[in-house]
Structure 1
Amino acid sequence: MSLMISVSGIRGVVGASLTPETLTDFTMAFATWVSRRKALQNPASDAKPKIVIGRDSRPTGGIITQLVSSTLNLCGCDVIDVGMTTTPTVELATAGEEADGGLIVTASHNPVEWNALKMLDEKGEFLTASDVEELLVILNEKNKESARWDGLGSMIANGSWDKKHIDRILKLDCIDRDLISSMKFRVLVDAVEGAGSFIVPELCRQLGIAEVKTLACLGTGIFPRNPEPVEENLRETMDILSKESCDLGIIVDPDADRLALICEDGMLFGEEYTLVACADFYLKHHNGPVVNNLSSSRALQDIAEKHEVECYSAKVGEANVTEVMKGCNAVIGGEGNGGVILPELHYGRDALAGIALFIQAFAEWKAVTDGTLSEFRKTFPNYVMSKQKVKLDGMTKESLAALFDAIAARHPEASINRLDGIKLDFPEGWVHLRPSNTEPIVRIYTEAATKAEADALAARFIDEINQSTIA
């Protein structure tokens, strides 16, 4: 597996594609990029660049953090190490410490043998595509930033940001801890031994949840299952919850930027519906546009229409969603993988913010109805998605463009969006065809009123793709 490079940083298998040399090279390039950016923005300042670093719980995280921090010091950067914590916490800390950049040692939902460097700018946000281009140019330069013996950076530890993150969430004007406390909720938290192992249960307690039961919350970094919070990986947790008589289950991925929820009957609330439920609640308090990506559920559009606001869709990817959110001044947004972005806190997916909004929304509904979470789920528009893929050998940009042109021509009845592959909206559902950036495949996402209809829509377009490529 080769090293993966994107706007969120670099990612690879430790000891294979992610080596000490790779980590050192990219860290030096990042330090140089930060230093030059600081010099342009504050030419009168002679202060050393300041960089925040944090990590998830993976066994390789500590030693990689040491290597990266030492490299930054040798490049003349001061380092604030916030320790093992979540990705959104590091994002908040980077802005809160008025740092010049941030690094997160985490491979998110990838297996334990993977690790990564997520790179942040001075606002605690992922680098833009043009920023990454600049970084890659610097990577190939011989004269990267390097400090003299008397100009080395310092390193200090600051473990206060978990508390600060929770405090920021508790101060949201839409959160009513007294109401939540009155519900006497019993909750199961599964942090898959990741960075959310301690902060997520503590947030739940601070919100006023009466009983917080934990599963895989020791922070060992040895994931007991595939850590991506999707249904096929959560069956054991779903079974445990149904036997524990809990009101709901809360599951986060290893760096806690994605949130999944389980109903009291052991069934998933639905990863697409994390954002839908949070947006429906938040729009009652802060009216304004909402944003998702093109592969997210139509349910958010329905919620936007209910609140008489605009719903915009971005290309798939957190950085793309936040860019559109800024452009339209969206009050909330995210992706259908359980990622909630709340600009009131910061521009980044934040499972902790999602937890607070969701529990508050459920508490307010339950106070009136005394219903269960599975009944709460039925109050939202109901759609079902199908996710498929088809392999296309010899795929080129030109052949893909021709394929998508042909598909669009065959469906004049559909509303067409070519922002990210091709998306066709029909009255009864939609289909989104996206080429992979790493494999010769086209991913096929469909949504309809039932699973059978969504699967049939996917099969129909797989057949169209195959027929087009044969022709």
Structure 2
Amino acid sequence: MAILLRAGDPALNDPFLDKALEGMILSASGWRGIFAETGNEEDTGDAIKPVHGVIAALAAEVFAGYLIRKNSGLKKAPVVILGMDTRPTGPAIADPMIRLLLVSGCRVRYTGITAAPEIMAFARLARETPNFVKADGFVYISASHNPIGHNGLKFGLDDGGVLPASETKLLIEEFRRRLAEPDRISRIVEAANQADSLALDEVYAAEKQVKQEAFQAYLDFTREVCAGSSDLPHEGPGEIPELIARGLQDQPLGVAADFNGSARTVSIDREFLGSLGVTLHGMNDKPGEIAHRIVPEGESLDPCCKFLEKLHENDPSVMLGYVPDCDGDRGNLVFWDHGEQKARALEAQEVFALACVSELAHLVWTGELKYDNKGNALTKAAVAVNDPTSMRIDRIARAFDVSVFRAEVGEANVVGLARKLREQGYLVRILGEGSAGGNITHPSAVRDPINTLVSLIKLLAIRSEGERKGFFELWCNLSDQAEIYRPDFTLSDIIAALPAFISTGTYTPEAVLQVKTTDHGLLKSRYQKIFLREWEERKELLRTRYGITGWEAAVYNGMEEKRGISDFSIAGKGGLKISFINKTGHAAACIWMRGSGTEPVFRVMADVEGSDRRIERALIEWQRKMVSEADNTRGVV
């Protein structure tokens, strides 16, 4: 590999580095920025600016130091797995990182292109054997769903999840401290060029073998996630995959995948789904064959809908489709709608709701979630979600008599919250960021479209047999909808049985604002004054038109939720939600806001019980108006 960092390069100077850093966002969800050499976020070239090589190298040095300190006392070099998605700038970022990891005293295992859930499963399952080295941590090069010219970094340890926000904060602080050093560029350039060429060659030479090991570790782990707990009163976890395969013999299922050139093109999808009896049909299935917008929302799902319709015409068993993002840790779904007789996309919140129904039914079916003779849960169980996840999940959880806990947006926050709940004795099988679609199924610690597909497949394949009720019939009974169940149900019937809610899509134009106020605590303080004024003006209309009789504010910072707050500013950069209470005392709608941690935008949302989209439209327009007024208000605190 060519050395990207050369002493004396005129492009390696402080002003260029400072400008590159200004465009980066550093958060627990990832360190991201535009790495394309031209600075164009849609640039498909593979070159990066030399200063971005410095940034990547310094980040690797900081992570290496973190691992060394964490493993102090162990007389071995930390082992770091490094992989990337299919963005063209990935290799140019990987090379300086590998060099600094080696120079810093780490062993590097390079997977090349790998899906995010794959590298995390590899880090989790890698165990010490004569020919297999246990990892101490991983670095993943990706900007997830951001445009192709973006790239970034995620860091994690050997537990299979990204670092929690508290640990990421330490990395960011050390990264910034070293950036303040006067010799920051020259020192990193010198260090990068000191990497042992033989050790570097060995890292690249082992790439194919390491990738095969990652693939197998991910395949084994996904089978474990699909099966569930090994401590069951019935057939045991090994029966779940067999039951799926048996069910699909009677009810065949084909799946269409628009891989969009993502890292999933070289992952386990075909092999694992095939082992369940699912026939997979792929398009855009070569690594880097990115045919359309990366984020799997809205128009990005249209090609898969058309592909599904074409396949379904020749084979009616093809009824599901999915589109992953570039790193393959999320994938929203399309399906054949039997009612409309065409393919349509599922909204992200619908996808997560279906996964929750399935995985909670899984717990009931296996006997892990038990009830007394009055229908009260004997098991202390919970679902962990992010703050803009639709209240539909609360209704689903209520049917199963399990609790819902919310954290601030960010996968690390939700995973950390679920971990904390388990320490408190809760059974937490299903968690995730409902606003972005896709689920995290324990023991996995990352969103995964394969696990999402498995959740839906279980709903379709594990049907009632004799006295043993299948997943969907369990849901119908627990949600007081026993009368709608019929043995020949379809996915359309399952979707129709979900609690009715309408939520603003995360990536719709209505959900995004540009704000000038950088102090989001101040912005929310101004917003509070505006909201209180607006509430007094509108409360009678809200009561008569929508049945809203009161409100409650809640803030979300990291893993912490505070409800009933009287000072909106304490949300800071976290989430702020206002729930609207109806005459029965239940929250029937809400509005929410938060500045993105990975994109330079401010997100808003409305969530409304029922099927009247006009109410959601009215609330989101009101929310946008109030946030904009708060942003344009000066001198009001």
Output the TM-score relative to the length of structure 1: 0.89
Task: Give, in whole Å, the separation in 1 of the partners of 2:411 and 2:34.
Answer: 22
Q: For residues 438 and 67 of structure 1, do their structure 2 counterparts lie closer, same or farther at Cα, with a shift above 3 Å needed?
A: closer
Q: CA 1:284/1:234 → structure 2, altered by over 3 Å: closer, same or farther?
A: closer
Aligned 1:318-397 pairs, distance under 5 A: 318-329=411-422, 330-336=428-434, 337-344=436-443, 346-364=444-462, 369-386=487-504, 387-394=510-517, 396-397=519-520
For residue 83 of structure 1, what is the aligned residue in structure 2? 112
In structure 2, what is the equivalent of residue 296 of structure 1? 389
Amino acid corresponding to residue 207 of structure 1 in structure 2: L
Using the TM superposition, give the Cα deviation of residue 68 of structure 1 relative to its aligned residue in structure 2, in angstroms. Answer: 2.2
Residue 59 of structure 2, aligned match among 26, 33, 41: 26
- How far residue 256 of structure 1 moved from its aligned partner, in angstroms, is 1.3
SS in 2 for 1:112: coil
**In 2: Cα distance, 1:406 partner to 1:388 partner:** 22
Deviation at 1:290, TM superposition (A): 0.3
Is contact 2:305–2:345 with CA below 8 Å preserved after alignment? yes
* Post-superposition offset of 1:437: 5.1
- Residue 127 of structure 1 corresponds to 163
| Cα offsets for 1:259-301 (capped at 9, x unmatched) | 2111112111221122211221111233420011111111111
| Alignment correspondent of 2:571 | none
Structure 2 match to 1:418:
555
Deviates more, 1:107-116 or 1:461-470: 461-470
Match of 2:476 in 1: none
Q: Find 2:406's aligned residue among 304, 310, 313.
A: 313
Cα distance, 1:440 vs structure 2: 8.0
Counterparts of 1:92 and 1:218, CA distance in 2: 23
214 and 406 in structure 1: CA distance in 2 versus 1, 3 angstrom threshold? same
Q: Does 1:435 align with 2:595?
A: yes
Single out whichever of 290-299 and 3-12 deviates more from structure 2: 3-12
Deviates more, 1:21-30 or 1:436-445: 436-445
Structure 1 position 96 matched with structure 2 position 125: yes
Residue 166 in 1 paired to residue 219 in 2? yes
Q: In the aligned structure 2, how far is the partner of 1:160 from the partner of 1:417?
A: 45
In structure 1, C-alpha distance between the alignment counterparts of 2:494 and 2:309, rounded to whole Å: 17
**In the alignment, which residue of structure 2 is the partner of 1:114?**
150
* Structure 2 Cα separation of the partners of residues 279 and 394 of structure 1: 37
Distance 1:394 1:261, change over 3 A: closer
Q: Which is worse superposed, 22-31 or 113-122? A: 113-122
Q: 1:30-41 counterparts in 2 under 5 A?
A: 30-39=63-72
- Trace 1:57-68 onto structure 2 (pairs within 5 A): 57-68=86-97
The structure 1 residue matched to 2:620, chosen from 458, 461, 468, is: 458
**1:255 shift after superposition:** 1.2
* 1:310 CA drift (Å): 0.1
Residues 222-231 or 79-88, more deviating = 79-88
Query: CA contact under 8 A between 1:290 and 1:304: conserved in structure 2?
Result: yes
> Would the alpha carbon gap of residues 12 and 148 (structure 1) be closer, same or farther in structure 2, given more than 3 Å must change?
closer
Query: Take 2:69 and 2:157, find their aligned partners in 1: how far apart are those partners?
Result: 12
The equivalent residue for 2:524 is 401
Distance in structure 1 (CA, Å) of the matches to 2:439 and 2:105:
36
**Post-superposition CA distance 1:126-163 (Å, at most 9, x none):** 22333233223433346999999799796344122223
Secondary structure (helix, strand or coil) at the match of 2:344 reads coil
The 3-state SS of whatever aligns with 2:62 is helix
From 229, 237, 249, give the equivalent of 2:321. 249
Percent identity between the two aligned chains: 23
Alignment correspondent of 1:4:
25
DSSP 3-state at the match of 2:294: coil
Asked if structure 1 preserves the Cα contact closer than 8 Å seen for 2:349 and 2:503, the reply is no
More divergent stretch after superposition (267-276 vs 369-378): 369-378
Q: Go from structure 1 to structure 2 and tell me whether the alpha carbon gap of 1:77 and 1:152 turns closer, same or farther (over 3 Å shift).
A: farther
1:398 shift after superposition:
4.8
Q: Structure 2 vs 1, CA of residues 166 and 369 (structure 1 numbering), >3 Å: closer, same or farther?
A: farther
> Is residue 297 of structure 2 the alignment partner of residue 230 of structure 1?
yes
C-alpha spacing 1:47/1:465, structure 2 compared with 1 (3 Å): closer
Work out the number of aligned pairs and report it: 464
Distance (Å, rounded) in 1 between the aligned partners of 2:616 and 2:216: 43
Q: Secondary structure at the residue paired with 1:226?
A: coil
SS of aligned partner of 2:388? coil
Task: Find the counterpart in structure 2 of residue 204 from structure 1.
Answer: 273
Comparing 187-196 with 15-24, greater Cα deviation is found at 15-24
**8 Å contact 1:53–1:104 — kept in the other structure?**
yes
- 1: distance between equivalents of 2:30 and 2:599? 19
Which has the larger displacement, 411-420 or 183-192? Answer: 411-420
Q: Is the 8 A contact 2:147 2:294 kept in 1?
A: yes
SS at structure 2 position matched to 1:234: helix
Give the direction of change, closer, same or farther, for the CA distance of 1:107–1:388 in structure 2 (3 Å limit): closer
Q: Which has the larger radius of gyration?
A: 2
Q: Which moved more, 1:122-131 or 1:444-453?
A: 122-131
For the 8 Å contact 1:289–1:311, the answer to whether it is kept is: yes
Superposed displacement of residue 395, structure 1? 5.2
Question: Which consecutive residues of structure 1, in runs of 5 or more, have no partner in the other structure?
Answer: none
Deviates more, 1:270-279 or 1:135-144: 135-144
**Residues 165 and 412 of structure 2 are in contact (CA less than 8 Å); yes or no, is this contact kept in structure 1?**
no
The 8 Å contact of residues 358 and 455 in structure 2, kept in 1 or not, is answered as: yes
The amino acid across from 2:382 in the alignment is: P
State the distance in 1 between where 2:591 and 2:275 align.
42
Match of 2:361 in 1: 284
Q: Helix, strand or coil for the counterpart of 1:164?
A: helix
Of 125-134 and 107-116, deviating more is 125-134
Query: Are the aligned partners of 1:196 and 1:256 in contact in 2 as well (CA < 8 Å)?
Result: yes
Gap change, CA 1:184 and 1:421, over 3 Å in 2: closer
Farther off after superposition, 239-248 or 59-68:
59-68
> Any conservation in 1 of the 2:26–2:598 contact (CA below 8 Å)?
no
Taking the aligned partners of 1:407 and 1:235, their CA distance within structure 2 comes to 40
Superposition deviation, residue 222 in structure 1: 3.4
Q: The residue matched to 1:115 in structure 2 has which SS?
A: strand
Give the superposition deviation at 1:316.
0.8
Give the superposition deviation at 1:335: 0.8
* Structure 1 range deviating more: 448-457 or 298-307: 448-457
Kept in 2: contact 1:229–1:259 (CA 8 A): yes
1:53-109 Cα offsets, whole Å, 9 max, x none, are: 122122332343333223312222111223322101111111222311101122211
Q: Assess if the C-alpha contact under 8 Å between 2:31 and 2:598 holds in 1.
A: no
Distance 2:298 2:196 in 1: 53
Partner of 1:192: 260
* Matches of 2:602 and 2:151, distance apart in 1: 26
SS at match of 1:418: strand
After alignment, is 157-166 or 295-304 more displaced? 157-166
> Secondary structure of 2:439's match?
strand
Do the aligned residues in 2 keep the contact of 1:421 with 1:432 (CA within 8 Å)?
Answer: yes
In 2, are the aligned partners of 1:256 and 1:352 still within 8 Å (CA)? no
- Preserved CA contact (<8 Å) 1:28 1:75: yes
Deviation at 1:243, TM superposition (A): 2.6
Larger deviation, residues 456-465 vs 329-338:
456-465
Which moved further from structure 2: 60-69 or 335-344? 60-69
TM (norm. structure 2) is: 0.67
2:600 is equivalent to residue 446 of structure 1: no
1:150/1:234 CA distance change after superposition, 3 Å: closer
Q: Which moved more, 1:137-146 or 1:63-72?
A: 137-146
Residues of 2 paired with 1:150 and 1:109: CA distance?
34
